[in-house]
A = this chain, B = another copy of it.
Amino acid sequence: MIKINEHFAELPASYLFTEIARRVAAFQSSEPKADIIRMGIGDVTLPLPKACTDAMHKAVDEMAVRESFRGYGPEQGYEFLQTKIRDYDYKPLGVDIDLDEIFVGDGAKSDTGNIGDILSSDNKIAVTDPVYPVYVDTNVMAGRAGELLPTGCWSNIVYMPVNAGNGFVPELPKEDVSVIYLCFPNNPTGTTLTRKELKVWVDYALEHKALILFDAAYEAFITEPDVPHSIYEIDGAKKVAIEFRSYSKTAGFTGTRCSYTVVPKDCVGYGKDGREYQLNGFWRRRQCTKFNGTPYIVQRGAEAIYTDEGQRQVKDIVNYYLQNAKIIRNALTAKGYEVFGGINSPYIWLKTKGEGSWEFFDYLLHEKHIVTTPGVGFGPSGEGYIRLTAFNTHERTREAMERI
């Protein structure tokens, strides 16, 4: 008899965006003429940089001719892209990464989701609260979460609240944890850690032989000098951290799919007998067995980000969204709201003046015709907050702020 993975049955239906869609649809049918501005979902709107589309056209042409056609590529990505990543994303930070520590993938969601394959199911997981749901759901699927509590939290996961009270800096867990998910600049709060604050976590991981899964998907939005672009800027991090990066928000690749994951050869895990194993080899084996590489055409598109025009075009895109973030921050601050994020991030995290997340969501939808995301949807500590995104046009973003 075919036995299912019972943990899938324990996972409640993904509620947040479905519920948002339901409420928006209900409002639309009651007020069909309302001009709704969408600032809820974290998807980009600007087209791909010209450098990327030029490179992809060229790659498509190569694939049309026998002499330049490419079949199976290396599962861990082409060296032409790995080299650019090493030289442009890490060398300027003073971080030396070897090519065989870079794994090109099809998205940070896949990689942060699949990384658990190489870890035992009895690791103790810690996440910030609020949190990107993929970290939690994938650990539920792998049987690391325990039971779902009435709070919406899982009994065996350690939640570390981040909120206005602690300046969005998570406290070290009191219990011994072995896998820590950190996403900075943070989704959903848009907040960051300084080098000194991040060092606390690297030191914890070194001391406890824990692993940090560092999601740097929003790295390109960093504007402040004291915010680390990579966890490897912190001494010792190579021994305890895997870093995930993505071209999704940087270069508009949400529908084009390219990312990469760095697994340093110094980074180790432990067997039951205490023996050390390189996680690099494990992840390589995982990728070679269950993945066949990112499309050649897409990798050529990503490579073009690192040309001079590519770098300029990507900066323009990021700046466009950051200007929206500034418009939102300024407008809401002027209106007396406490807002966070939006300086090193496309996300603005607004603290309501006492209303619950869903209550304030409904207020903005019904009174201002603006769609946002209720903070509580990302975890209990998100209650009393909403998330706004800077991915709309300048015009629509300004209009939304005028409505508020």
Q: How far is the CA of A98 from the CA of B20 in the complex (A)?
A: 26
B1 touches A137 (CB 8 A): no
Can you list, as one digit per residue, whether each of A45-69 has a CB less than 8 Å from chain B (1) or not (0)?
1111010010011001101111001
Number of A interface residues in the complex (CB < 8 A): 81
How far is it, in angstroms, between the C-alpha of A121 and the C-alpha of B3 when the chains are bound? 8
Q: Which of B64, B282, B296 is A47 in contact with, Cβ under 8 Å? A: B64
List B contacts of A106 (CB < 8 A): 106, 291-292, 295
- List B contacts of A271 (CB < 8 A): 3-4, 6, 9
- Check A222 for interface membership: any CB of B closer than 8 A: no
Q: Which of A111-136 contact B (CB under 8 A)?
A: 113-114, 117-123, 134
Whether A216 sits at the interface, judged by CB under 8 Å, is: no
Select one of B56, B110, B269 contacting A3, CB under 8 A: B269
Query: A3-B178, A256-B297 are contacts. A45–B69 as well, Cβ < 8 Å?
Result: yes
Complexed CA–CA distance, A57 and B252 (Å): 18
Chain B residues, CB < 8 A from A113: 289-291
Q: Is A375 an interface residue (CB 8 A)?
A: no
A3-B270, A254-B72, A285-B11 are contacts. A138–B60 as well, Cβ < 8 Å?
Answer: no
Whether the pair B60, A60 counts as a contact (CB closer than 8 A) is: yes
| Cα–Cα distance between A89 and B351 once the two chains are bound (Å) | 52
Which B residues are in CB contact (< 8 Å) with A69?
45-48, 252, 255
Q: For residue A376, give the distance in angstroms from its CB to the closest CB of chain B.
A: 20
CA distance A71 to B248 in the complex (A): 9
Residues of B within 8 A of A295 (CB): 106, 255-257, 295, 298
Point out the residues of chain B lying under 8 angstroms from A277, CB to CB: 4, 8-9
In angstroms, how far is the closest chain B Cβ from the Cβ of A180? Answer: 10
Which residue in chain B gives the minimum CB-CB distance to A393?
Answer: B66
Q: Interface code A181-219, partner B: CB below 8 Å = 1, 0 otherwise?
A: 000000000000000000000000000111100000000
Interface residues of A (CB under 8 A from B): 1-6, 8-9, 11, 14, 41, 43-48, 50, 53, 56-57, 60-61, 63-66, 69-73, 106-107, 109-110, 113-114, 117-123, 134, 137-138, 141, 178-179, 208-211, 252, 254-257, 268-272, 277, 279, 282, 285-286, 288-298
Q: Would you list the 3 A-B pairs with minimal beta carbon distance, nearest first?
A: A113-B290, A3-B120, A4-B269
Given contacts A3-B119, A109-B290, 8 further A-B contacts (CB under 8 A): A5-B119, A50-B64, A53-B64, A73-B255, A134-B289, A141-B286, A257-B293, A298-B298
